Structure 1
Amino acid sequence: MDQHVVIGAAHWTYLAGVAVIVLTMILRANVVVPSILATFCVVFAWSHSPVTALGSIFTASFVAAKELFNIFLVIALMTALLNALKELRSDIRMVEPFRAVMKNGHTAFFILAGITYFISLFFWPTPAVPLVSAVLLPAAIAAGLPPLAGAMAIAIAGQGMALSSDYVIGVAPGISAKAAGAAVSAAVVADRALVLSLIVGGIALVLGYLSIRKRIQPASNSLLVAWQAQSSGLETERLEEAGTFDKAELARGTNGRDTLLSDKAVDRALASAPAKRVFWSKVFAVLTPLAFLAVIVTMIAPKLMPSLPPLRGGEAATLVGGMAALLMILASLAADGPRKMLDVSADHITSGFVFAFKAMGSVLPIAGFFFVGAGETAGPILNIAQGTTPPHLLFELIQSAEHLIPHSHLFVAFGILIVGMITGIDGSGFAGLPLTGSLSGALAPAAGMDAATLAAIGQMGAVWTGGGTLVAWSSLIAVAGFARVPVLEAVRALLLPVVTGLIVATICAVTIWS
């Protein structure tokens, strides 16, 4: 690209749109309307045609939908599988055996974190929060774990570690990579985000445990009785309405299961299943995690053994989605028989798509605006004829200001991290990913860094902040509600461990991949 970039009205309009969107996020208001209006203004400034600008409102979201539809499809199929497993009560059976090993509060803290992470890695925190809270949290409380410590373990492992890497489903790295540019691989972003999420989560869990270990009490059923007598209060209800997205709804899951269960209640729930389903309930409680572990092994095997053919492009997502669809059909067959399975499976898939668009639909106009600034996707939105090179507005803006950017890897990395954390303030970790991805792709050449590394760092900042660990109006509301602790108390307890983890992980990223 020519080093002497001419910055025109479209560039300044795009920059103003970015600033307005970031400011809107800071104010915790919805960013969809500003994104749509900013798209209109940028295209009008470029084309000087109100017709093209008006059409760009549709085209931008349509381009984003084409780029990101594989993400929607994987979410839909995974949600369909989850609903099928709930019919068999296999979801409860997958975690029920771990109640027996919660002998004291110390082990309960790490068991809660481990199980939450495992489930959230495959299904997002959507089922993990209500499932772990209903089945395992009462047992952990009786083992002597303070409710606040339970909330910390669930939030760090689910909304933090699992959601920030999103390694299996691949929504977050997919959005980050698409926004960063065609040369950035979603698989590389996912690999680096996984490593960084483990660093942040490991540090946060250790610091969180050290901060509450003296409050752990000897095991006693009286602790459970006293805890169950508490009310979660009205603060949660008030904060549920705050923020850009209703993340608490995503955390609760698709069936509204929010009843906390004692050991006896879990036993009754499992025994209530019809006798003919009990066998298949146990089978799928074992088969489902084994099947996805096999998928993970397939995904990482080429990295460990270079002689194996690597997975190309979105093949990892297709494996996850295909496995979810197959398991869903088999679970529906076991639960309802061959005839009814045909209708039930279709209903599960429909419910999955409803949830997918409810969870991610608002991302499309936001991503559409940032795609205007990327040369790989700007052409259709700006109505540029094929064969004509479209502008790369964001890259050209940064290129024109390259002499002002310090050539310090740490400075750029922490800048991306801070931008990600700012975008997460609105309470939605994924809304800021198009911005952090776009900035990563544009800043990487100027800083002499890998765009995938910067995208992974930005993803950490956005998701750990807005996904449900650092702001009270995120899905942390649901975690605090289930644990029956004030949500602001949970934020205060999580702040130092999570921020410390993010700082260390960013330094590690620069050290390892610079």
Structure 2
Amino acid sequence: MSAAHWIYLLGLAALIATVVARRNVVALAVVATFVTGLAYGGSVVTGLGSVFNAAVLATRELLPIFVIIALVTAMLGAMRRLGADAMMVRPLGRFFRNGHVAYVVIAVVTYALSLSFWPTPVLPLIAAILVPAAVRAGLAPFGAALAIAITGQGMALSSDYIMGVAPALSAEGADVPAGPIADRAMVISLIAGVVALAVAYLRDVRTKMLDPMASALVVLPAAEAGSAGSASVGAGSPGTNAAAAAAGTDAAPSAATGGAAATLTTSPAPGEGAGGGSEDTADAAGPGSPSRARIIAVAVPLVFAALLVFMLLGRFTSLVPNIDDGQGAPLVGGTAALALVVIALTANRANWLEDVCEHFTEGIAFAFRTMGMVIPVAGFVYVGLSDYSADILGLPEDARAPAFLLDAIKHVEPYIPHVPVFASFAMLLVGMVIGLDGNGWPGLPFTGSLAHSLGEGSGADVSTLAAIAQNGASWTGGGTLVIWSSLIVVAGLTGVSVVELARRLFVPVVAGLVVATAIASVAL
């Protein structure tokens, strides 16, 4: 353990302390990267180069995630221009009968959409169509934000069962197939999610966030976007008022967000949103004909449902080829890209070439606006992983890459009791630390290799240990516990404080992860 090891660990501890204090850690991550590089290389040049190289490497590693978010966002943007997005979810409006039911419905729909498309791209659709209907039914925006974050940024992302990117990354280090990891991660995420939803409902929603009279006075950011043309995505977004605070939104801006925000162009919910308004009003949402919009509204879900069936048949049967090991993301991304072209051609034959370019550019901009703040934090975490540290520190190709984080964990590993339950909770803790980068997935090969090591010593199932770490990393960094993740998008589109949202999510999410890990350690 060199001085650079200790400086890196002190930086990681400072980052965790800053998280507890609910402050933004981007600046801290930049400084910690510089100091670690300075201590290891012994020169200011190495320190400065480390900051730049870490940002470049983090961008390179996260680029596939940015691109899939951009493609799906572009497709949904084309659907929005045609008016097909509202038609696609309008039938769900009839289920929003009261605040209690709205909490369940928005959770189920968010989970289904996020599991298929990833949560961040579908957030504008959910916020523009479903959230207004839920609020009118009596659910406060904060209650909707809790349900969206738990099921989308937590449950769906932690298993990544359809795309398969996260299980494939975990399998790289675990030396086991991605399929068993995906299956176990799905079970763990469902247990954690159900527990988190129940705790959040009993702790906050049932007692504080079901007030139809107050909710009726709330003006959501998505609704303001309909008249102003855009919505501010971030903490302290405009559109909240005293009535919103009375309904439990606590939407006052907070300096803890570090001013991070993004701007997202959205369209108003047609008519009265998902739950009301005439069909003629809804059809007027886009420039295309109502019949074309209906065709797209039906065709897009059917295409992605067929894709899901194909992937599941490949995983569980021999009827079609197995497309395991992360191939789900390219399939979904490619399908979204082709769907974008078809939708743009359907909506506007005269200018469809320009429309495709415009939607794709907006999708790329949205992806980087919402997830860009993750890059410096991820870069600092990568300094501690041997797969990335050599590039960041500018070492020669034949030099031994330092592994600051792995070396520290190896020093602690002998003290972990060789009992499956202890190994399981150790993997959960390591996964949550990895997730502090605001994403969590790039560190999954590392947690996979650690799962392989602990599994051999404790007799625990390696796939289960890898799946536990994957859940810990994804729930933390994917967008439920740290405010520099896509959680800021959830907060901005629902008009609540991202700091307060993270605070209220902490107990439900941690309780869910603890219960799920305990069950997994003895049953999976």
| Aligned match of 2:401 | 390
Q: Given that residues 370 and 434 in structure 1 are in contact (C-alpha distance below 8 angstroms), is that contact kept between their aligned partners in structure 2?
A: no
Distance 1:451 1:257 in 2: 48
Q: Given that residues 30 and 243 in structure 1 are in contact (C-alpha distance below 8 angstroms), is that contact kept between their aligned partners in structure 2?
A: yes
Q: Given that residues 52 and 382 in structure 1 are in contact (C-alpha distance below 8 angstroms), is that contact kept between their aligned partners in structure 2?
A: yes
Distance 1:382 1:162 in 2: 35
Q: How many residues align?
A: 496
| Aligned match of 1:39 | 33
1:194 to 167, 174, 186: 186
Larger displacement relative to structure 2 (12-21 or 456-465) = 456-465
Q: Given that residues 200 and 504 in structure 1 are in contact (C-alpha distance below 8 angstroms), is that contact kept between their aligned partners in structure 2?
A: yes
Deviation at 1:282, TM superposition (A): 1.0
Distance 1:472 1:378 in 2: 25
Listed one character per residue, the Cα deviations across residues 166-224 of structure 1 (whole Å, up to 9, x for unaligned) are 444567667x749x85858777655543332222223344556677779999xx99897
Q: Given that residues 437 and 458 in structure 1 are in contact (C-alpha distance below 8 angstroms), is that contact kept between their aligned partners in structure 2?
A: no
Distance 1:367 1:32 in 2: 10
Q: Structure 1: which amino acid aligns with 2:185?
A: A
| Aligned match of 2:225 | none
Q: Given that residues 140 and 150 in structure 1 are in contact (C-alpha distance below 8 angstroms), is that contact kept between their aligned partners in structure 2?
A: yes
2:9 to 4, 15, 21: 15
Deviation at 1:334, TM superposition (A): 0.8
Q: Does 1:367 align with 2:378?
A: yes
2:340 to 285, 307, 328: 328
Deviation at 1:396, TM superposition (A): 2.8
Counterparts in 2 of 1:216 and 1:189: CA distance versus 1, 3 Å: same
Larger displacement relative to structure 2 (444-453 or 355-364) = 444-453
Q: Structure 2: which amino acid aligns with 1:243?
A: T
Percent of residue pairs identical: 41
Deviation at 1:90, TM superposition (A): 1.3
| Aligned match of 1:3 | none
Counterparts in 2 of 1:318 and 1:10: CA distance versus 1, 3 Å: same
1:301 to 283, 291, 313: 313
| Aligned match of 1:352 | 363
Q: Given that residues 91 and 285 in structure 1 are in contact (C-alpha distance below 8 angstroms), is that contact kept between their aligned partners in structure 2?
A: yes
Q: Secondary structure at the match of 1:242?
A: helix
Distance 2:213 2:36 in 1: 62
Q: Given that residues 25 and 31 in structure 1 are in contact (C-alpha distance below 8 angstroms), is that contact kept between their aligned partners in structure 2?
A: yes
For structure 2, list consecutive stretches of 5 or more residues without a partner in the other structure: 220-240
Deviation at 1:384, TM superposition (A): 3.4
Q: Structure 1: which amino acid aligns with 2:309?
A: V
Q: Does 1:115 align with 2:123?
A: no
Relative to the length of structure 2, the TM-score reads: 0.76
Distance 2:13 2:213 in 1: 53
| Aligned match of 1:509 | 520
Q: Structure 1: which amino acid aligns with 2:376?
A: P
Counterparts in 2 of 1:463 and 1:232: CA distance versus 1, 3 Å: farther
Distance 1:329 1:253 in 2: 21
| Aligned match of 1:4 | none
Distance 2:392 2:206 in 1: 55
Q: Given that residues 129 and 269 in structure 2 are in contact (C-alpha distance below 8 angstroms), is that contact kept between their aligned partners in structure 1?
A: no
Deviation at 1:333, TM superposition (A): 0.7
Deviation at 1:72, TM superposition (A): 1.7
Q: Does 1:242 align with 2:253?
A: no
2:411 to 400, 408, 416: 400
| Aligned match of 2:66 | 72
| Aligned match of 1:381 | 392
Counterparts in 2 of 1:214 and 1:25: CA distance versus 1, 3 Å: closer
Q: Does 1:318 align with 2:326?
A: no
Counterparts in 2 of 1:464 and 1:446: CA distance versus 1, 3 Å: closer
Q: Does 1:232 align with 2:240?
A: no
| Aligned match of 1:57 | 51
Deviation at 1:332, TM superposition (A): 0.7
Q: Given that residues 121 and 167 in structure 1 are in contact (C-alpha distance below 8 angstroms), is that contact kept between their aligned partners in structure 2?
A: yes
| Aligned match of 2:299 | 287
Counterparts in 2 of 1:412 and 1:29: CA distance versus 1, 3 Å: farther
Distance 1:293 1:282 in 2: 17
For structure 1, list consecutive stretches of 5 or more residues without a partner in the other structure: 1-6
Deviation at 1:287, TM superposition (A): 1.5
Q: Does 1:410 align with 2:410?
A: no
Distance 2:379 2:70 in 1: 21
Counterparts in 2 of 1:50 and 1:260: CA distance versus 1, 3 Å: farther
2:453 to 416, 441, 445: 445
Q: Secondary structure at the match of 1:406?
A: coil
Counterparts in 2 of 1:222 and 1:51: CA distance versus 1, 3 Å: closer
Deviation at 1:351, TM superposition (A): 1.3
Deviation at 1:353, TM superposition (A): 1.3
Distance 2:387 2:2 in 1: 19
Q: Given that residues 73 and 353 in structure 1 are in contact (C-alpha distance below 8 angstroms), is that contact kept between their aligned partners in structure 2?
A: yes
Q: Secondary structure at the match of 2:243?
A: coil
Distance 2:361 2:482 in 1: 32
